[in-house]
Structure 1
Amino acid sequence: MRKKTLLYLLLAGFVLAAAAAATGYLQFKGNAVGEQYELYVSRQADYDAVVDSLRPRLRHRAAFDLYARRLGLEQSFKPGHYVVEPGMSVVEIVRMLKLGLQTPVRVTLQNVRTPEQLSERIARQLDIDTAQMLGVLRSRKVAREMGFTTPEELFSMFLPDTYEFYWTATPEEFMRRMKREYDRFWSAGRDAKLKRSGLSRLEATTLASIVYEETRKTDEMPRIAGVYINRLRQGIPLQADPTIKYAMKDFGLRRILYRHLKYPSPYNTYINRGLPPSPICMPSAAALDAVLDFEQHDYIFFCARPTFDGYHNFARTLSEHNANARAYAAELNRRKIK
């Protein structure tokens, strides 16, 4: 009888131990997450803030705390962008934070006109301070390191696109990546096309920025680029309205009036011959290629169509252009656009 009792006790102990082991295994290595979510851990975040953001979404919280203490997570967690997936265990989550196993973020750069705007866009998408990023963009030393003479010229290095970065990338890492993208864009084929235009990379990018601000119609970009190439070759001021908006930093200006044309600025192409010192926006790849593949013609002028369809009327003579301009101005007046 005693042997049976002892056997039952041993079996019960074994069952309890097995149950405890299974429970422990599930606590540490079982599914601790019900749905996917993103966790952003800033460089300024403390451990309590990290845990507080995790805890409401975690099962097995006691196991998380125990394993985190065992691995010294409080002293060793890494900042970054983490994607916590359904089915992940406490062990996987703690190790992910300890080892800094980040998931890259997608950084989109487009419709940027100034370094100030660029620094703000970057700061909204990466763990970078706006003022710190702007300081790098304005640094003459950084410009020289990237192969440019001035911070203004440095702006021509950036190409609108979507890029993958680690969220904790530093301003210096961001700049080095953008330089690699710039060097990749300027292939041997594109550099060969520069000879046809007679422009440098900086000049081509600057002209492309004007073309891009003139039209979003990619099929018309090479023709507009051809107008400006003709003007440059003949020594005629570009007289590009977008440069007035840039000079005045008034990008909402809908109608360029005579008084605006005298605004003192090296970017004002009505009072200065040739190209501005640097791009007036971040031009698209299509605009850059339009400059490289500019259309050969004898147009000297163009003016927006009064139909407001985004296209332009082109002219070879001033009298033709004045007629086009009067038609457009009349439509502006009719629509009461000031």
Structure 2
Amino acid sequence: MYIKKILLAIAVIGLIVAAFFANFVYKAMLKPNTAFNNESAYIFIPSSANYQEVRVQLESLLEDIESFDDLAEQKKYINNVKAGRFEIRKGMTNNDIINSIRSKNLPIKLSFNNQETLEKLAGRVARQIEADSLSLLEAMKDKSFLSDNNFNGATALGMYIPNSYEFFWNTSAQTFRSRMLKEYKRFWNASRLEKAKALGLSPNEVIALASIVHEESKQASEQPRIAGVYLNRIRIGMPLQADPTLKFAAYQLPKYKNTVIKRVLNVHKEIDSPYNTYKNQGLPPGLIAMPDISAINAVLNYEKHKYLYFAADAKRFGFHKFAKSLSQHNVNAREYQRYLSAQGINK
């Protein structure tokens, strides 16, 4: 009789323990534990983060953070935090969530275009990945890296081909830079290199010219014609006389900081700068802004014609009038100058 009571007590205790364990398993592993209404939420875990930092992000997303703590400890996640961007879907259990944030780092779409300087590019990229703008800029300007890959301070921006790319959010500055070099080399395939060689230009020179073409016109349909004008000038030894290079040269001077030049004047043509293509023959030392791929391709696939001049078209905003002779160009230019004056644009 006494043994039966002992066995019964053991059975009862066993049932209690089993019930407790079953409840723990249910709450910790099988019960949905999300507290948001959207289909998904995302957390971004920095490379240096510890569990407490992850917990802070999760606290507002989960109904029961303590049960998550218990399972995280059981599954040894607490001491094995992974960096990245992770998705938590509505209705996930603690087990699902831990599996997701431990092994399912999701990529992001990183994009950039038309950045005028490395500083602006670094700021743009830093808003999309973990690396901060200072570390990105330091990597972009690293002299050893630039020299090893045939770039310098004037041409460095040309290594970054504007587009959308897939990256992990926790990408470092050096990893970003290395990936962009690979994309640059992929962009300059055999076909593009052959076309550049036929022009007598290096990839850096093509991009420098493309940056001028892009600043002259954002109209992809017109860019090959503008490129043809500049290439015609190069062939006959005529200075490029590109107004965007004068603006670039001016903006390097303290006098023009925080200003917007809407009208190029004769005073700008006197600026002493290697980027003054009125004073200096040939291409400038580097690009003046990041050109779109359309402008790069416009140079490589330029329109063959006999035009040597072009002026903005006062009647078709964003487009230009082209001329073969200086006399016709002067007519077109005066028409546009009158338009600027009528608009009160004097500088």
Same fold at TM > 0.5:
yes
Kept in 2: contact 1:247–1:263 (CA 8 A): yes
The one-letter code matched in structure 1 to 2:31 is G
Kept in 2: contact 1:27–1:60 (CA 8 A): no
Deviation at 1:18, TM superposition (A): 5.6
Structure 2 counterpart of 1:122: 125
- SS of the equivalent of 1:194 reads helix
Deviation at 1:17, TM superposition (A): 4.5
Aligned length, in residue pairs: 331
Aligned ranges 1:168-187 → 2 under 5 Å? 168-187=170-189
Instruction: Call closer, same or farther: CA 1:45–1:254 in 2, change over 3 Å.
Output: farther
Deviation per residue, 1:241-285 (Å, 9 max, x gap): 111222223683211111112222222212211111111111111
Structure-1 separation of matches of 2:206 and 2:17: 77
Structure-2 separation of matches of 1:261 and 1:81: 50
Q: TM-score, normalised by structure 2?
A: 0.87
Structure 2: gaps (5+ residues): none
Deviation per residue, 1:8-31 (Å, 9 max, x gap): x97998699468626632532332
Deviation at 1:152, TM superposition (A): 2.5
Kept in 2: contact 1:28–1:60 (CA 8 A): no
The one-letter code matched in structure 2 to 1:333 is S
Structure 2 counterpart of 1:238: 240
1:24 partnered with 2:25: yes
Structure-2 separation of matches of 1:169 and 1:144: 24
Deviation per residue, 1:213-244 (Å, 9 max, x gap): 11111111110000000111111111111112
Deviation at 1:123, TM superposition (A): 1.2
Structure 2 counterpart of 1:333: 341
The one-letter code matched in structure 1 to 2:112 is L
Structure-2 separation of matches of 1:279 and 1:143: 15
State the 4+ residue runs in structure 1 displaced beyond 6 angstroms. 9-13
Identity of aligned residues (%): 37
Deviation at 1:309, TM superposition (A): 1.8
Moved more, 72-81 or 233-242: 72-81
Moved more, 20-29 or 234-243: 20-29
Kept in 1: contact 2:246–2:276 (CA 8 A): yes
Structure 2 counterpart of 1:216: 218
Structure 1: gaps (5+ residues): none
Moved more, 173-182 or 82-91: 82-91
Moved more, 262-271 or 274-283: 262-271
Structure-2 separation of matches of 1:260 and 1:87: 64
Q: CA RMSD in A?
A: 2.5
Structure-1 separation of matches of 2:285 and 2:124: 23
Structure 2 counterpart of 1:57: 61
The one-letter code matched in structure 1 to 2:233 is R
Structure 2 counterpart of 1:195: 197
The one-letter code matched in structure 2 to 1:180 is K
Structure-1 separation of matches of 2:267 and 2:105: 54
Structure-2 separation of matches of 1:12 and 1:45: 42
Structure-1 separation of matches of 2:328 and 2:296: 29
Structure-1 separation of matches of 2:316 and 2:209: 23
Aligned ranges 1:10-21 → 2 under 5 Å? 17=18, 21=22
Q: Indicate which of 284, 287, 293 corresponds to 2:292.
A: 284
